Chain A
Amino acid sequence: MIGASLSRWTMSYFSVALLSLLGAEALMVSGFGFPSRPITAPQTLVLVHLTVIGWLSLLMSGALIQFVPVLVAKPLAHPDLPAVALALLLIGLAGLIAGFLDIPGISSTSMPWLPFGAMVLSAGFVLNLWNLGRTLWSARPMGLPARFVVAGLVSLAGVVALGIVFSLTLARWTTSEVLTTLTAHGVALHAALGLGGWLGFTAMGVSYRLLAMFMLAPEEKRWTSRIALGAGTASIVVLLVGGPACLLFGLKLDHVLVVALLMASICVVLYGHDVVRLYRTRKRRHMELNTRMAAVALGGLGIAALLLLALAALGDVARYIGAVVFLVAFGWLSGLGLAKLYKIVAFLTWLQCYGPLIGKRATPRVQDLADEPRAMPWFWLYFASVGAASVAAFLDTPLVFRIAALGMLVATAGICAELVRIRTLKSVPTPMLPEGVQARPRLILPSLER
């Protein structure tokens, strides 16, 4: 098989991910968690995990089960395993959130939600890691984007392992001195590996390929890309190995974090250089909405990286880290995710509805399923609101942040409505509508027939 098949569960991952994003934004509007509450408050932990697992990790997992086969030109090792993984991830996330709310001062029940949630969640991630890992392993030697994904998956394994340790320690299921030390001082490692290694590095790898595909830009083997891969991987290894080792030997974690930050900065600069080059050398002169918005998201990454370096130089990271993380999560990763969703949902819907009709009758283009002028204002509102919310988080003005978060919520709801329009073929002229069973694809669940 040379081609990759259509992933049956990707749309389910995307749907749940978008619901989680809407939920997280609604919580921010209501003043739940950061910046209205401290960064270590249980409410903030709920908000962070709903965003990072419920939204970003499900989005990334759904994208990977579709695009890893594209990256390596091999079918997914276990096509239906993602359904089991999704169920475990959702149950685990619910358990984890219940566990955070169970921390004294919020509410108290006898159920050990935190370790239960962490273990079920880990089982879900492990299933996807196994599935994607086997698919990638079968396609050695791998190309550059796939190697980014491998490093991202290794990072995810580290995040999951640390998460289990934290939950067992916090639930007092273990009193091991080593694990207690890791829990007390390892949160920065957990966050850096999760946001930077798993989500960030994987997004970089996937975007190398997607941007080249969608803009018809040449995918040249460049030294900048190879060094970006090397520096990013080194950063992940430093965090994964050096971080715990430092803590176990009683050394301060700061040096490890600074080295990892420097390596990651090299990676980000070279990645940025490569992406700008992809835009400049694209053959397709007209840029679609998704590529324009991806460029705005990349700007968010650039600003966040500069801010983090400046704060590290000034020794003021701890005070503003919440705002920087917000900009990375919502400005870059979420912005890029929403932009690419707009394209990927149209592409998958087209394949579902019109793929079987190729050669039998005239078919519309993928672009005909989307109505870019309608969707564009929502994207601009989203990025403007994220910008305002980031400034509010830096200036520690929670009320302004909540108003800006309302803008994000409205914009995301607008983008979701546009995605539903794509799925229901609302923009396709009547004569071009497909006939028969595939005329209206299911929004969330896959059709059971193959």
Chain B
Amino acid sequence: MNGSSELVGRVREALREVIDPEIGFNIVDIGLVYDIALEEGGIVKVTMTTTTRGCPATDFLKDGAGEAAHNVEGVQSADIRLTYDPPWTPDMMSSAAKQYLGIR
């Protein structure tokens, strides 16, 4: 594993500390984090979504993800981008999240 993929991995782990308040599970396993990319100068670009477009928690989740990513050692700044393309569906959850919610 090279340095950049290792840093991306640590950012992913840090984002697991951020939970979606309604579902009660972390945003990575729910499938809200679409992409994590490392750019020059230690800038991490996170592309994410929310379970519902217009969710009142959107700004909090975005800021929280930015905070969690920024706190990772080696990250100079975090750029969080929201997208609804594609829209989130429960099928995007990891098996751990599905098991937590009882989804077969």
Residues of A participating in the B interface, judged by any CB pair closer than 8 Å: 2-6, 66, 69-74, 213-214, 216, 218, 283-286, 347-348, 350-351, 354-360, 362-363, 365-368
Given A70-B52, A285-B101, 5 other A-B contacts at CB below 8 A?
A5-B59, A358-B67, A359-B18, A359-B68, A359-B71
Instruction: Enumerate B60-95 residues with CB–CB distance to A below 8 Å.
Output: 60-68, 71, 82, 84, 89-90
Min CB–CB distance A160 → chain B (angstroms): 28
Knowing A359-B63, A360-B64 touch, does A4 contact B56 (C-beta < 8 A)?
yes
B24 within 8 A of A: yes
Q: Of the candidates A283, A356, A366, which one forms a contact with B60 in the assembled complex, judged by CB atoms under 8 Å apart?
A: A356
Please give, as numbers and ranges, the residues of chain A lying within 8 Å of B60 by CB-CB distance. 351, 355-356, 358
Count contacts between A and B, CB distance < 8 Å.
104
In the complex, the answer to whether B21 meets A70 with C-beta atoms within 8 Å is no
Most buried by B among A72, A73, A214, A286: A73
Q: Of the candidates B54, B71, B84, B102, which one forms a contact with A70 in the assembled complex, judged by CB atoms under 8 Å apart?
A: B54
In the complex, the answer to whether B103 meets A73 with C-beta atoms within 8 Å is no
Please give, as numbers and ranges, the residues of chain B lying within 8 Å of A213 by CB-CB distance. 22, 51-52
Min CB–CB distance A92 → chain B (angstroms): 29
In the complex, the answer to whether A214 meets B54 with C-beta atoms within 8 Å is no
A104–B52 CA distance with the chains assembled, in angstroms: 54
A72–B54 CA distance with the chains assembled, in angstroms: 7
In the complex, the answer to whether A6 meets B56 with C-beta atoms within 8 Å is yes
In the complex, the answer to whether B68 meets A3 with C-beta atoms within 8 Å is no
In the complex, the answer to whether A283 meets B103 with C-beta atoms within 8 Å is yes
In the complex, the answer to whether B17 meets A359 with C-beta atoms within 8 Å is yes
A214–B24 CA distance with the chains assembled, in angstroms: 12
Please give, as numbers and ranges, the residues of chain B lying within 8 Å of A357 by CB-CB distance. 64
Please give, as numbers and ranges, the residues of chain A lying within 8 Å of B55 by CB-CB distance. 3-4, 70
Min CB–CB distance B91 → chain A (angstroms): 9
Knowing A284-B103, A285-B103, A365-B24 touch, does A359 contact B65 (C-beta < 8 A)?
yes
Most buried by B among A69, A283, A358: A358
B47 within 8 A of A: no
Please give, as numbers and ranges, the residues of chain B lying within 8 Å of A366 by CB-CB distance. 21-22, 24
In the complex, the answer to whether B54 meets A71 with C-beta atoms within 8 Å is yes
Q: List 14 A-B contacts (CB under 8 A).
A: A2-B53, A4-B58, A5-B59, A74-B54, A216-B23, A284-B101, A351-B56, A351-B57, A351-B60, A357-B64, A358-B21, A358-B63, A358-B67, A363-B19
A347–B24 CA distance with the chains assembled, in angstroms: 12
Please give, as numbers and ranges, the residues of chain B lying within 8 Å of A71 by CB-CB distance. 54
Please give, as numbers and ranges, the residues of chain A lying within 8 Å of B22 by CB-CB distance. 213-214, 347, 365-366
Knowing A2-B82, A284-B102, A366-B24 touch, does A358 contact B18 (C-beta < 8 A)?
yes
Knowing A286-B102, A356-B60 touch, does A3 contact B50 (C-beta < 8 A)?
yes
Min CB–CB distance B103 → chain A (angstroms): 5
Please give, as numbers and ranges, the residues of chain A lying within 8 Å of B67 by CB-CB distance. 358-360
In the complex, the answer to whether A69 meets B54 with C-beta atoms within 8 Å is yes
A314–B65 CA distance with the chains assembled, in angstroms: 62
In the complex, the answer to whether B19 meets A4 with C-beta atoms within 8 Å is no
A354–B64 CA distance with the chains assembled, in angstroms: 11
Q: Of the candidates B17, B23, B54, B101, which one forms a contact with A2 in the assembled complex, judged by CB atoms under 8 Å apart?
A: B54
In the complex, the answer to whether B18 meets A70 with C-beta atoms within 8 Å is no
A4–B104 CA distance with the chains assembled, in angstroms: 32
In the complex, the answer to whether A73 meets B59 with C-beta atoms within 8 Å is no
A368–B84 CA distance with the chains assembled, in angstroms: 28
Min CB–CB distance A145 → chain B (angstroms): 11
Please give, as numbers and ranges, the residues of chain B lying within 8 Å of A285 by CB-CB distance. 101-104
Min CB–CB distance B48 → chain A (angstroms): 11
Q: Return the chain B residue nearest A3 by Cβ.
A: B58
What 0/1 pattern do residues 29 to 59 of B give for CB contact below 8 A with A?
A: 0000000000000000000001111111111
A74–B22 CA distance with the chains assembled, in angstroms: 20
Min CB–CB distance B75 → chain A (angstroms): 13
Please give, as numbers and ranges, the residues of chain B lying within 8 Å of A368 by CB-CB distance. 24
Q: Of the candidates A6, A72, A359, which one forms a contact with B66 in the assembled complex, judged by CB atoms under 8 Å apart?
A: A359
Per CB-CB distance, the 3 closest pairs between chain A and chain B, nearest first, are A3-B58, A358-B64, A359-B64
Q: Return the chain B residue nearest A74 by Cβ.
A: B54
Please give, as numbers and ranges, the residues of chain B lying within 8 Å of A286 by CB-CB distance. 101-102
Knowing A216-B101, A285-B102 touch, does A70 contact B56 (C-beta < 8 A)?
yes
A216–B31 CA distance with the chains assembled, in angstroms: 14
A65–B61 CA distance with the chains assembled, in angstroms: 21
